[in-house]
């Protein structure tokens, strides 16, 4: 297997492309997709686009009643909802067991659910909540669903990362922030973990026909910001005092496009293990450039050695490894 270059194709799409546009001409009838967090923000837009293209979509949700109501309100009554709490590995295992018991194959898995810059909290075996929810929960989910992914015959897994990855690499000496918590460094580590997860999953899965991609969806105002005070968002330039959102932010339809593209585009056949943004493979970050904080992928988020090391750590923490 050759390594996919971390350089734009180019795809012909861009930052303002929508999920519906990237699916133009693509028929997903007969395909099964799972989208975590698929009932709000980017997730529900991703679900709507995949369903409109013919896919059977399943949305695992910590609050299934709320998910059902939100999907019904969007006219997505045919989308299935199941219970899943990514911070509870027992819940993850129960969901995976139910899916596998049904004998279904899985063609698309989009690990979209996330929390950002949340107050310090511990879940599982004392795990820092952002690392546990954004990375470990999805790591376990993907590994447990591995038989269904292989059965899909050409399945794709998409991990939602972010430019937040630029804030921190993996703190292998203290991944749980036991020596002092910083909400943004914790988020940065979690988003780096999401990217490295895709790198290693692709390395392990390509020989089985399963490819993986990391995705930065762009800046979008969604429920992801629920832990951020308005004053902090104003100070960061995300919005003005009167609540006007910075014009660089995408709409949710645009924000859902890159994950949808990575999950379905024929342009990516035979490729994988790369970080994508604006509906294309991203370029490596140019250190010191004016766009270094907001564009491209930093070397630490696609480093194969760190990706393999994180996989080992994740397996040790959770006791789950489909490739052991």
**Active centre residues (catalytic):** 187
Reply yes or no: is the peptide bond before residue 66 cis, omega within 30 of 0: no
Tokens at 274, concatenated: 């790369």
Query: E strand or H helix at 244, and its extent?
Result: none
Closest CA to 259 of 299, 207, 217: 217
Length of the chain measured in residues = 324
Closest CA to 215 of 254, 160, 253: 160
Q: Are strands 280-281 and 274-277 parallel, antiparallel or unpaired?
A: antiparallel
Q: Buried (b) or exposed (e) across 103-120, using 16+ Cβ within 10 A?
A: eeebbbbbbbbbbbbbee
112 touches 45 (CB < 8 A): no
Q: What angle do CA 125, 191, 46 make, to 5 degrees?
A: 105
Taking the alpha carbons at both ends of the chain, their separation in whole angstroms is 20
Tell me the three state secondary structure of residue 220: strand
Q: Where are the beta strands (DSSP E) in the chain?
A: 32-35, 56-61, 80-83, 108-111, 122-123, 127-128, 156-160, 211-216, 274-277, 280-281
């Amino acid at each position: 297997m050759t390594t996919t270059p971390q350089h734009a194709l180019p795809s012909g799409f861009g930052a303002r492309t929508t999920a519906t546009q990237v699916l133009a001409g693509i028929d997903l009838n007969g395909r099964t997709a799972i989208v975590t967090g698929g009932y709000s923000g980017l997730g529900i837009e991703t679900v709507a686009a995949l369903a409109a293209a013919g896919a059977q979509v399943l949305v695992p949700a910590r609050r299934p009643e709320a998910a059902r109501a939100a999907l019904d309100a969007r006219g997505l009554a045919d989308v299935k909802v199941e219970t899943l709490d990514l911070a509870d590995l027992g819940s993850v295992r129960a969901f995976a067991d139910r899916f596998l018991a049904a004998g279904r194959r899985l063609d698309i898995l989009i690990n979209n659910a996330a929390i950002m810059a949340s107050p310090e909290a511990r879940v599982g075996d004392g795990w820092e909540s952002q690392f546990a929810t954004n990375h470990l929960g999805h790591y376990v989910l993907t590994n447990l669903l591995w038989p269904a992914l292989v059965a899909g015959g050409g399945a794709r897994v998409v991990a939602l990362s972010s430019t937040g990855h630029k804030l921190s690499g993996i703190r292998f000496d203290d991944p749980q922030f036991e020596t002092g918590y910083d909400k943004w460094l914790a988020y940065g580590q979690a988003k780096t973990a999401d990217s490295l997860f895709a790198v290693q999953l692709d390395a392990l899965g390509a020989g089985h026909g399963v490819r993986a991609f990391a995705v930065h969806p762009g800046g979008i105002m969604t429920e992801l910001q629920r832990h951020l005070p308005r004053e902090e968002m104003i100070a960061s330039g995300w919005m003005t005092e009167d609540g006007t959102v910075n014009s660089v932010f995408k709409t949710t339809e645009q924000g859902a496009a890159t994950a949808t593209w990575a999950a379905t585009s024929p342009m990516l056949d035979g490729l994988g293990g790369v970080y994508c943004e604006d509906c294309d493979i991203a370029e490596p970050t140019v250190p010191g450039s004016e766009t270094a904080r907001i564009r491209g992928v930093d070397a630490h988020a696609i480093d194969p050695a760190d990706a393999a090391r994180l996989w080992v750590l994740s397996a040790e923490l959770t006791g789950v490894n489909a490739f052991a």
